[in-house]
Structure 1
Amino acid sequence: KGPAECGARAGAGDGREPGGRARRPRVTVDSSKAKTSLEALKISLRQLRWKEFPCGRRLPCDIYWHGVSFHDNDIFSGQVNKFPGMTEMVRKITLSRAVRTMQYLFPLEYNFYPRSWILPDESSFFEKEIRMMKDRDPSWKPTFIVKPDGGCQGDGIYLIKDPSDIRLTGGLQSRPAVVQEYICKPLLVDKLKFDIRLYVLLKSLEPLEIYIAKDGLSRFCTEPYQEPTLKNLHQVFMHLTNYSLNIHSGNFIHSDNANTGSKRTFSSILCRLSSKGVDVKKVWSDIISLVIKTIIALTPELKVYYQSDIPSGKPGPTCFQILGFDILLMKNLKPMLLEVNANPSMRIEHEKELSPGVFENVPSPVDEEVKVAVIRDTLRLVDPQKQKKKDVHKDSKIQSLSCCRFQTLEHVSDAKEELLDAGSPARLEHDVSTTTEAALPSLCLKQVFPKYAKQFNYLRLVDRVAALFIRFLGVKGTTKLGPTGFRTFIRNCKLSNSNFSMASVDILYIDITRRWNSMGIDHKESGMCWQAFVEAFFFLAQKKYKSLPLPEQVASLIDFCEYHLAVLDEKRLVCGRG
């Protein structure tokens, strides 16, 4: 079947329920690109009584559910479950750079991310720094974990004891990586190392809105843990918690019980810790803090990507996204961020080998319990019918019918159905909505931002730097700042003077831009990338406010720039009125 046929059949009907009553317009969801999350999505849509279009639809849908990327479809309206640029933002190198920027400003607040070096750009610096640290403390015997930048599911990850042990097979130039200090003292359960997969909903970028699922998954290694030595470094089933690796171990246990097996619910682990006297509220509080701080580190560059794909003033969808946070609890219960996944697996089944080479998909109750709730309640939170006023909703449906006047008979039928739906009696609409909502469990997603915004807003300095960067990009749809844009930024913000001439500005731009471009940062377009602008901005802040600590230097320069731009905007406004 083609998309038109599937869409026509799914949309057929006269807009009435059995018995002749007009029914409430159902939210429409395009699931044609859902990929591995499809089964959990289908269950969620059935529970919500929403209308699914598994083969796509020619008329716009309310929600588009993509399995991989924002760019899976060309979308000009509605909502899509991916942000442009998110996949790039949470790659290991980009995430490390974003967190490192925040560590420069707020080292104590961002000590939940292991010390990291980017290869090959920082190979010599990595070797030199480790050598110096060993000279200062000869008893220090570190272990490092090497993670390929584009790797997933544990692919290509390995442990080393010395920088000289880094494998050059395949060439680091062709496959860059991040090397981190390995966390040698994790919390163990049943003598096994485990990590936590938590699901985080980024519901909105502006204003920032974050939700955390109240339950997650605990994924276990399949061999008893020992601190790394030269003899056991290669034992992946002992050191790496990745499900996709451990499932191949003979010790992997598939269990229908959330409290046992190699994959369990996080709540079962918390119950066990609580029974031993652990303050699990403190553990949760620390995890929430880690999540909010990580999102704050990611949002500035994410906004740069967002304005590139969905420029202000142009039609486009609104976005939301479920992220997978991988967190490790240390022996002292301090949570450490391992990585963030833009496309966390939402599969609710696993493969079972019936005979050599013959596999069957078997339901996984633990996965279904957690993942279906996350998808269903994400949809409840972004429900467009809760966010639109009834009269606006009716107008949009009438316009939709008008636009489709000369479409095929099937499309007109679809539009008529939606128009009939839009005209359903308010009382019935409320009754059906209330009945469906009442039949569902309470939300599994807890809002943490802006709920706790007062505690974390002081960390959002770099967001304001991003606003300056975006303002001077000039050409809509670009992510790099040209030399003219940089000079305009300096001039409009009154940053040049006798000690810092425009010639010096040009040299600064060329030096920083050339160095960042040599690191392989997106050669599709020329100019100063976001990370290069951050470096330049920090340099200017340190130059102008030498006596202050770095966070105050940056904050002072932001205030200075915003003041002069506000004055300039006011002048332009007055001139415009004149």
Structure 2
Amino acid sequence: MASKTSVSRKIKNRNSGKHVPTVDTTQARSNMEVLRMCLKDLGWKEYGSGSSADADIYWNSATFQQGNRNYTSTSARVNKFPGMCDLMRKTNLTRSLNVMRMLFPDEFDFYPKTWFLPEQREQFQDDADSIHKKDRRRHRPLTTFIVKPSDGSEGAGIYLIQDPTHCNVPNRPHIVQEYIDRPLLMNGLKFDIRIYVLILKLDPLEVLLYDEGLVRFATVSYQPPSNKNLHEAFMHLTNYSLNKRSATYKHALDEKQTDASKRKLSIVWSQLGQLFSKNEIEQTKEMIKELVNKTILAILPELRVQYASELPITRKQNRCFQIIGFDILLTDQLKPILLEVNANPSLRIDFDHVNEAGKFVTEPSAIDEDIKKSLVLETLKRVIKCKQNRKLSESNDEMMTQEDKKVIHHQTEAHSKIAVKHVKKTHYDTQLSACDSDSSSCISEELSNKEQQYQTGKESQNSNENTTSGASDSMLIDDNINFSTLDPSMTITGEQNVIQSSVNRTDMAADTPITNPIKLFKIIFPSTSQTKYQQMFLPEKIAFIYIELVVKRGYKAMTNWPFRNLAKICDLVDQSTTMISIDMLYTQIFYKLKQYDSQSPATGLDFPAFIEAFFLLSQRKYSNSYTLLDSATELLKTCIRHLDPSVDEPA
């Protein structure tokens, strides 16, 4: 008995020294129930209302700014990105996707043709008339359109039309899209898929796909749209919040139910496997992954601008993470179509309904708990592991910087030129001499052990990869290096060069995605076929220009002066592109923005307006370019050469 007590005491003492992760739930609200279940299972601490201590993770239910907390002075991670809610509004998401569609028309055909209302009301009516003329010539049913409020949710305010004059839109922003009238059906019912995606970090971008999801069914058998059934919301719309009020809605009694109006995605994949081949199902899953990656690349530029506006630019852009929900429809050919992206997918694990006595009651939902609890649990584990790796890399960075400075000092005093093969010995000797002469400069035993583990793992990784660590080390000691032959970002001197070298090596450790298998999450970006996404980072590079000219200077928007200055510095003014024409271009886009966007900054161009101006300017400057992608790439290269050599030019 005494022996067991002694062992128990030793285990308790050993665990007492470990840091227990903490999560601030003050603003969790509707996420609270599932979050507390996960924290209990993990054995983590909850910081609730009234707590003044800094937590490892802050969990908000809606937005980054929720609760007016200042995150600039803490190393904590927040479960929302700045500006994400606005980015995911239907009009803003459509604008982001349209930018990519202009550059890559064949790659973004997964989103229906869309018009902005009231901005494009006349254009929509003209286009709709033209589409209907084609329908009549080909003797097919008239194309139907679906109207959605930009900031709507739960199916509210959505309706179908065939006559474009029936589009009744007040001043509130809306979109109108071509309705997908040949959806895939199961048992005669239309359905959509809710996919959960985790954006784990921005620097570098890391996106994970949750391997389980929800499938929501309509509750009235589907018929092709006609004037007789356009009003049938339970037939044409699949929103859960809408269909749960239907008399034919079937609540799932457990997570394995195969005929419920809300089912697990894995069950539906199995059911579809009886209708389609395994190869067809796998191709659809791959198309969904591509759809997710391309959509995130479309919002990435604006996401970076919003991040830089809220958090210190000197910090790596890994302070935030977010679970977002993709709503996807499958056509009868198994092609995935993006309906919308939800910045705050519901994490509730219960449901409301009216019982037999006519009372409104809330009951637990087995299917929601099964899916969402694992989703939140694995997200928390991922995030805290990423945060711990970041701390370790920062410790390595500090230690390496100190060691490298000692090497330079040692070499300067000795005026010696040591061959590259002796670099490791130099580091070792310098560290020993420093410890002998000044014990305060010695690195702690714990950090040394961690650094040894890091170096061991890094050497193992480098044995299979072509790295530049040798070149970096030689740069530290060789006085005869010709800096003019190096990359522009490396042509810096003395102490700066040491820091740059150290940061590069730290990035190798910090930026390597965690490869340990974690249940239900799959890394889809970076992907094994990442080269196909390479050109899609062009708008992100334009965002870096905007950040340099606007955000870093403390402005909220780009005024006329920095826009003119951009043209002047980048030598864009010539006989074909005069400063007067540049001023006119700015004014044209500025007033267009003010006319249709009441929330736009009063002082100048926001980023979406700037990128529109950038494209128009590129077409004027490089009018002989074959495509917009070509002209925008050329203008980007010109701007980068003149503005910031540390920003890599596009390939």
Judge same fold: TM > 0.5, yes or no.
yes
C-alpha contact (below 8 Å) 1:198/1:216 kept by paired residues: yes
Task: For 1:567 and 1:497, locate their aligned partners in 2 and report how far apart those are by CA, in whole Å.
Answer: 23
C-alpha contact (below 8 Å) 1:307/1:477 kept by paired residues: no
Partner of 1:295: 296
C-alpha contact (below 8 Å) 1:224/1:238 kept by paired residues: yes
- SS of equivalent to 2:562: helix
**Percent identity of the aligned residues?**
38
What's the CA shift string for 1:447-479, capped at 9, x where partnerless? 011124222122221111111111111565544
Selected match of 1:177 from 174, 182, 205 = 174
Selected match of 2:615 from 534, 538, 547 = 538
Partner of 1:81: 79
Partner of 1:61: 55
Q: Work out whether 1:459 is the aligned partner of 2:536.
A: yes
Q: Work out whether 1:517 is the aligned partner of 2:594.
A: yes
Partner of 1:29: 23
- SS of equivalent to 1:100: helix
Partner of 2:526: 450
Q: Work out whether 1:251 is the aligned partner of 2:258.
A: no
User: Which residue identity does 1:345 align to in structure 2?
Assistant: S
Structure 1 window deviating more from structure 2 (148-157 vs 38-47): it is: 38-47
Task: For 1:128 and 1:319, locate their aligned partners in 2 and report how far apart those are by CA, in whole Å.
Answer: 44
Partner of 1:202: 199
Q: Residues 96-495 of structure 1: matches in 2 within 5 Å? A: 96-138=94-136, 139-140=139-140, 141-168=142-169, 172-173=170-171, 175-255=172-252, 256=254, 257-278=256-277, 279-313=280-314, 318-356=319-357, 358-383=359-384, 384-389=387-392, 392=395, 442-452=518-528, 453-473=530-550, 476-495=553-572
- SS of equivalent to 1:460: helix
Task: For 2:552 and 2:271, locate their aligned partners in 1 and report how far apart those are by CA, in whole Å.
Answer: 55
In the superposition, relative to structure 1, how do residues 520 and 285 fare at CA in structure 2: closer, same or farther (>3 Å)?
same
In the superposition, relative to structure 1, how do residues 546 and 152 fare at CA in structure 2: closer, same or farther (>3 Å)?
same
Structure 1 window deviating more from structure 2 (544-553 vs 123-132): it is: 544-553
User: Which residue identity does 1:334 align to in structure 2?
Assistant: K
CA RMSD of aligned residues (A): 2.7
Partner of 1:435: none
Task: For 1:560 and 1:390, locate their aligned partners in 2 and report how far apart those are by CA, in whole Å.
Answer: 35
Q: Work out whether 1:555 is the aligned partner of 2:624.
A: no
What's the CA shift string for 1:45-89, capped at 9, x where partnerless? 122221112325201101000001101131322010000110000
- SS of equivalent to 1:151: coil
What's the CA shift string for 1:288-346, capped at 9, x where partnerless? 00000000111111111111111413799811100000000000000000000001000
Shift of 1:391: 9.3
What's the CA shift string for 1:133-179, capped at 9, x where partnerless? 333442351101000111100010000011111124xxx21x11000
C-alpha contact (below 8 Å) 1:308/1:478 kept by paired residues: no
C-alpha contact (below 8 Å) 1:304/1:479 kept by paired residues: no
In the superposition, relative to structure 1, how do residues 442 and 469 fare at CA in structure 2: closer, same or farther (>3 Å)?
closer
Shift of 1:206: 2.5
In the superposition, relative to structure 1, how do residues 524 and 356 fare at CA in structure 2: closer, same or farther (>3 Å)?
farther
Structure 1 or 2, whichever has the larger Rg, is 2
Selected match of 2:34 from 31, 36, 40 = 40
Partner of 1:500: 577
Task: For 1:348 and 1:51, locate their aligned partners in 2 and report how far apart those are by CA, in whole Å.
Answer: 21
- SS of equivalent to 2:226: coil
Shift of 1:358: 2.5
How high is the TM-score relative to the length of structure 1? 0.83
In the superposition, relative to structure 1, how do residues 316 and 444 fare at CA in structure 2: closer, same or farther (>3 Å)?
closer
What's the CA shift string for 1:100-139, capped at 9, x where partnerless? 1111111110000000000000000100111123334423
User: Which residue identity does 2:567 align to in structure 1?
Assistant: I
User: Which residue identity does 1:207 align to in structure 2?
Assistant: P
C-alpha contact (below 8 Å) 1:147/1:178 kept by paired residues: yes
Task: For 1:500 and 1:345, locate their aligned partners in 2 and report how far apart those are by CA, in whole Å.
Answer: 50
C-alpha contact (below 8 Å) 2:308/2:551 kept by paired residues: no
Shift of 1:370: 1.2
Task: For 1:447 and 1:150, locate their aligned partners in 2 and report how far apart those are by CA, in whole Å.
Answer: 30
Structure 1 window deviating more from structure 2 (55-64 vs 468-477): it is: 468-477
Task: For 2:578 and 2:541, locate their aligned partners in 1 and report how far apart those are by CA, in whole Å.
Answer: 25
Give ranges in structure 2 of 5+ residues lacking alignment: 1-8, 399-445, 454-515
C-alpha contact (below 8 Å) 2:201/2:321 kept by paired residues: yes
- SS of equivalent to 1:389: helix
- SS of equivalent to 1:214: strand
C-alpha contact (below 8 Å) 1:305/1:479 kept by paired residues: no
- SS of equivalent to 2:273: helix
- SS of equivalent to 2:102: helix
Structure 1 window deviating more from structure 2 (276-285 vs 474-483): it is: 474-483
In the superposition, relative to structure 1, how do residues 55 and 355 fare at CA in structure 2: closer, same or farther (>3 Å)?
farther
- SS of equivalent to 1:498: coil
In the superposition, relative to structure 1, how do residues 463 and 521 fare at CA in structure 2: closer, same or farther (>3 Å)?
farther
User: Which residue identity does 2:263 align to in structure 1?
Assistant: R
What's the CA shift string for 1:489-546, capped at 9, x where partnerless? 1112111112222222212111111111111252454101212211111111111222
How high is the TM-score relative to the length of structure 2? 0.74
C-alpha contact (below 8 Å) 1:148/1:157 kept by paired residues: yes
Shift of 1:277: 3.4
Shift of 1:569: 10
Indicate the structure whose relative CO is greater, using CA pairs within 8 Å and at least 6 residues apart. Answer: 1
- SS of equivalent to 2:355: strand
C-alpha contact (below 8 Å) 1:307/1:476 kept by paired residues: no
User: Which residue identity does 1:312 align to in structure 2?
Assistant: I
User: Which residue identity does 2:571 align to in structure 1?
Assistant: K
User: Which residue identity does 1:85 align to in structure 2?
Assistant: G
Task: For 2:370 and 2:185, locate their aligned partners in 1 and report how far apart those are by CA, in whole Å.
Answer: 24
Bigger proportion of residues as helix: 2
Shift of 1:362: 1.5
- SS of equivalent to 1:318: coil
